[in-house]
Amino acid sequence: MADEENAYTFTTRATRHITLGNLPADGMHLWRGERLPEVTLAYESWGELNPAADNAIIIFTGLSPSAHAASSAEDPSPGWWEYMVGPGKAIDTERFFVVCANSLGGCYGSTGPGSLNPNTGEAYGADFPDVTVEDIASSGYYLMRELGVEKIHAAAGSSMGGMSAIAYAMQYPGAIKYLISISAATQALPLTIALRSLQREIIRSDPDWNNGHYSDAHRPLSGMSLARKLGLVSYRAADEWNSKFDRSRLPPEKLSGKRFEREFEIENYLEYNARKFIHSFDPNSYLYLSRAMDWFDIAEHGESISDGMSKIDVEKALVVGVTTDILFPARQQREIADAMRATGTDVDYIEIDSVNGHDAFLIDDEHFSPVVKNFLDGTVA
């Protein structure tokens, strides 16, 4: 594979690629002022768009997932939200036409820093323009129109995906009927910015990052591994790890005997998960999407959070928080719900008592499926 190509772009048999044809002639105008001459989105879909084109649901992802939210006949491998999306499941693909795109700026087939810059013929790297949550939402809007959907039934997302769904609703009032925001935020707060800024600085401090212009042979894997570990620490909750790992040590045959090397199972768990990740995610995409979350601030859509929220025009919203989330804490979910209600949106607010922290939506089928199913059932009563 040539250096200037994105090492991470992959497609499954279920992945479609679409080059947005409905952008302005000079390309996509991004929220912070830069421009992308050409935008391709990788997406998957499940179910069928009905003749009235009013049964579409768009799912926005968190930082790292691909468009492969669920399995299908074309790609039977489990998706990242497998328990949630499928025939008869909470997001019921027998009833809805469900679309999930890889985020703009990502590395799983959508235009991102690993894509070729048409102006230079080389990968953008750190010359990729600033991408925001607003831009991810807009690219989803253009995608749905390409797919023949003027008004979507529901936009749903968790974490960065929840922010994207809210940004969609704010930027295109009336373009969605129902909104599902899980573990999102009205704006990034200092602790979260600090945790993400540190992850980015760790990657940028790896000499192999090379100011964002690394080759496939010299990717900043050490920095990515450390950043991913810090991410994992912030995604989970203390009590879960207490019960899962406690103070378990590695068996003697797994100890290197070197001072400061891994000795506790928790250290091994982080290492195992980081290794899985670093070979499948583009460091520059990590940097761009991570920064996008820092920038997100509903107050920038008006004079205040409340003013930004007042732009939303949906029939009803579902807002979900998790008691043990330290990254997007439950009080931020209550803030979303309260701000929506204060500006006239009908809101179901559910706080889930899960041990799984910020990652709960990826894991906790038992708590999340009934909440989402109940809400969506109510939208088609």
Residues that bind its own copies (CB under 8 A): 126, 130, 187-191, 193-195, 197-198, 200-202, 204-205, 207, 212, 222, 226, 229-230, 233, 236, 238, 241-242, 244-247, 259-260, 262-267, 270, 287, 291, 294, 297, 326, 329
DSSP-assigned letter for residue 28: E
CB of 189 to its own copies, least distance (A): 6
Task: Considering the candidates 159, 181, 290, 310, report the single residue annotated as catalytic.
Answer: 159
Beta bridge partners of 57: 98, 154
The residues near 39 (Cβ < 8 Å, ≥ 6 apart) are 19, 20, 23, 27, 28, 104, 110, 111, 139, 142
Please indicate whether residue 307 is annotated as part of the active site: no
CB of 12 to its own copies, least distance (A): 31
Task: Considering the candidates 135, 206, 294, 325, report the single residue annotated as catalytic.
Answer: 325
DSSP-assigned letter for residue 173: T
Listed as own residue / partner, the contacts of 23-31 with beta carbons closer than 8 Å and 24 or more positions apart are 23/142, 28/135, 28/138, 28/139, 28/142, 30/129, 30/130, 30/131, 30/132, 30/135, 31/130, 31/132, 31/134, 31/135, 31/138
CA 183 to chain centre: 11
The residues near 338 (Cβ < 8 Å, ≥ 6 apart) are none
Please indicate whether residue 159 is annotated as part of the active site: yes
CB of 273 to its own copies, least distance (A): 11
In which residue are the tokens 């421009």 written?
35
Cβ distance to its own copies smaller for residue 53 or 266: 266
Measured between alpha carbons, how far is 62 from 102 in angstroms, rounded to an integer? 10
CB of 205 to its own copies, least distance (A): 5
Cβ distance to its own copies smaller for residue 49 or 232: 232
Cβ distance to its own copies smaller for residue 197 or 369: 197
CB of 373 to its own copies, least distance (A): 32
Cβ distance to its own copies smaller for residue 95 or 200: 200
Cβ distance to its own copies smaller for residue 3 or 263: 263
Please indicate whether residue 358 is annotated as part of the active site: yes
Which two structure tokens, joined as six digits, stand for 128? 């990729």
Residues designated as active site: 159, 325, 358
